[in-house]
Each structure stands twice: as structure tokens, then as C-alpha cells.
Amino acid sequence: MTTQQTQPQIDAPALVFPADFVWGAATSAYQIEGSTGTDGRGTSIWDTFVRQPGRVLNGDDASVAIDHYNRYREDVKVMADLGLTAYRFSVSWPRIMPYGAGEVNQAGLDFYRRLVDELLDHGISPWLTLYHWDLPQALEDLGGWPVRDTSKRFADFAACVHQALGDRVRNWSTVNEPWCSAFLGYASGEHAPGRRDPQSAIRAAHHLNLAHGLAVQALRAQGAGAQIGGSVNLYAITPAEDTPADLDAARRIDGLQNRFFLDALLKGSYPEDVLEDLSKVAEIDFIQDGDMKTISTPFDTLMVNYYSRFTVSGKPGGAASAAAAPTGAGSPWPGSEDVSFVNGGRPVTSMGWEIDDIGLLEVLQRLARDYPPIPLVISENGAAFEDVVEEDGQVNDLERLSYIEAHLRTCHTAIEAGIPLKGYFAWSLMDNFEWAWGYGKRFGLVYVDYPTQRRTPKASATWYADTIRRGGLRAPAE
């Protein structure tokens, strides 16, 4: 009688993730698609912004970007080769509704139909974001996000997209990082539309929250099958010193960056201290009856974008952060322009952002402790470094690899602690147009040679593919 021996699983990971954990990568429409004047697409605020001298480093624009509009099949093949189980992408509002409302451009919708079909054919789940900062210029001409009606137009847009793609797309996200759209777009002027009006920025922040709630309701009205997420960019925030000035600076920045959005979406109210801070800058007369109930309409997943920690000081004359805007923008902190962002002594990426995976754990623990229970997904996490193409054509981006690995270990720690973390999306799938930084910063797992559009997976991509195949992480090297 022969005894069958079981071979040891020497390839098994040391840190195993749940079998249904979502392994993904993310992009946004304006950063990758190009073809900004193709097939009936309208003009976005970013199309207008990049044409203004001095707005974008080196005068770069996204008219070509990485030509994803024409190369999407090739790009989906790259995703499949990496073993991604999900792909988070955004749809271009002006590609679908050239004027932001009314007429629907079927050619634009057809592009996303083809993209979704290609993803499904390769076994990749599409995670669709409705808004990643490309407001139709026609709506900005009518006042943009500081105007309440823009929220209603967004809900109409959400319903339009869902009607076209809801039979094939299950996972939806409403507004990506409303803090950026409001405060980088309307307070600092670093992002489109480039306005420097703190009062308008505060109104925009509320209307972006309202747009989220109205979009959730619009999607729900078309059927119960959609899994809907709200996306926020959160930071761990530390006072530089244990002094009253620094502690208050940390409270104020945490309030505007984190709690203004989390409390609204998950608790149905704005923090009283934040409203008091903002009342010194603007009249808080834009919150109408029923708004907070709408904003806090129940949704399914909180999508967390995490990159870094803020270390702040309220001391007069404090040092500026190394992570300054590239084009001389103003402050994105209405009422807290005096706060200094200082280096806390940690390593930084090429963006000047501190590398701190422990901050991610703090953010996840806070969500589990201070807010109603809701499934969580890391919808963006990644880092820019100075990538170099070696003589053999390889890109050995070991700093990025280490960054992602450290944050995934933190994700595993959170899951082991009982935090309902369901997935991870690396930012970004490929190098692309990095907003005001143009093409000067690379976040991609895949290197893009912009003159030739050649795609080359970096060492981080190979490592990530191996991690997905294993379903977890190797033991740390001794």
C-alpha cells in the first residue's frame, strides 16, 4: 500500500489575507485618457486650467496623457497579467455630458461600455468613480461647486452613467477626495479651476458632500444592486510639539481635512468646532434644511485614500513643509493659513510626503472606534519616486515596492485586529499626468515612456503580482 505524502507549501505566504480580499489598482480619467477633443467630449475645468501659463509645471497638459482612450485593451491586458481582481477608474463627466447637463454623448458612454466589457472579459471587477475632479467647464462658468445647483447636476449625471453601466458595474464611488476639489480648486488655486476664494471653497466643500448624498439617492432609485462608496483622503495628524498652539493647529487641520467630511457622511452633522473656525472666514448660510440627512444617506463602503501623515505647528513663523505646491499656489486651509506643516523626521517621497504606514493604522483604528460600523477599502495608496530605466530596460523601484509592502502589512494588522478592511487599490496602475506637477512625478506600478507610450512593469508591479498570486505577504527578511 502506497502512502501519499503531502508536499509542504513552501510558497505559502506568512501573512494571509482573506480569500475575498480585493486586490486592485486605480487611475482617473483625466490623468490617463488623453483624446480630450475626441468623439464629442466637452471641455473640462482642467482643459481650461492647463492652457493658462504657469498653472502646470513645464506647461504640460493631458491632451494625450498615456493615450488610454485608444490603448485601453492593451492596458487591461497589463492588469490581467498582474493578476488584478479589480480596477478602479473614473468616468469623464464632459466626455459623457459635454455641457454638464442635458445632452448625453453616446460615443462617450460607448467608450466606458467597451472598457467595462474588456475588464469583465479578463475577470477583472470594474470599480467606477463618478467624479475625479474633471468638472465640465460649462458648469464652472455657471459658478461651479460653490453653487448648489452643481450638486443636482451631478446627481443627474450619476443616474445617467448608472443607467448605461449599472447592469455590468456593481461597485460605484461618488466623489473622489472632495477636500481636494474644494480647497485645492477654490482656496489655494493649485488645482482647477484655480480660484483663490476661501469663502467659495467652504461652500464648494458642502456642495461636494451634498453631491455625494444626492448621487447615492439617485443610484439607489435605479435599483438595489449597486454597492456604493464614498471616497475621502484621510491623514494621521500630529502636533509638532505638545504645546497649546501646536495642539490647536492639529485640531483645526484634522477638523478641515478629516472630520468635516467623515462626520457629514457617517454622522449626519458637521463638527461644531470646525463650523466655528470657518465662521470667521465665511457666512455658514449654505446649509439648508435636510442637507445633512441627504449627505448621510446610508451607503455601503467607505473608500479611504491614504498617503502620508501631517505634522503641524501653530507657532508663529514656523517652517513651511517640504511638500509645497509646484506653482506658487496659496493656502488650502481657510481660517488656518497660519498653520505650518513641518517635517516630522521621517523619510519622504519625491513629492515631499512623509512615509508613515503606522499613520494608516491610526486612521483605520479611528474609523472603527469613532464612527458607525462600515466596510472599508483602501482606494488609493502609493508613492512617487525618481524612477530610472536601467540599461536592460528594467525599472527597479525598490523604494515604491517597500512603501506598498509596508502599507499592506499595516492592512493585514488592521484586519487581524477585526477592522472590516475589504480591499486595497495601489495608486497608480501606470505613470500618468500628475495634475499641477505635469509629467514630472511618477506614481505608477507600470512605467510609461511618454514619447513612445511603451508600458514597462516596474519591480513593484512584479512584486505586487506575486503578492496577489500568493494571497498575502512573505515573512519579513531576517
Task: Give the three-class secondary structure for 219.
Answer: helix
- Of 128, 146, 118, the closest CA to residue 226 belongs to 128
DSSP 8-state code for residue 104 = -
For residue 328, the one-letter residue type is G
**Could you give the residue ranges of the DSSP H alpha helices within 83-175?**
93-96, 106-121, 137-141, 149-165
CB 427 within 8 A of CB 443: yes
Task: Give the three-class secondary structure for 238.
Answer: strand
For residue 382, the one-letter residue type is G
Active site residue 362: no
**Burial of 213 (C-beta count, 10 Å sphere; 0-12/13-18/19+):** buried
Rounded to a whole number of angstroms, the CA Rg of the chain reads 22
Active site residue 380: yes
SS3 content of the chain, % helix, strand, coil (to 5): 40, 15, 45
Task: Compute the distance between CA of residue 11 and CA of residue 8 in angstroms, rounded to an integer.
Answer: 9
Contacts of 133 (CB under 8 A, 6+ apart): 28, 30, 45, 46, 176, 177, 180, 181, 185, 191, 192
- Of 254, 226, 227, 219, the closest CA to residue 239 belongs to 254
Catalytic residue among 354, 362, 380, 399: 380
CB 217 within 8 A of CB 162: no
Contacts of 29 (CB under 8 A, 6+ apart): 89, 90, 91, 92, 95, 132, 134
Query: How many CA atoms are closer than 13 Å to the CA of 73, on its beta-carbon side?
Result: 2
Catalytic residue among 177, 354, 399, 405: 177
Q: Compute the Cα dihedral for 256, 439, 122, 389 and give only its sign.
A: negative
Catalytic residue numbers read 177, 380
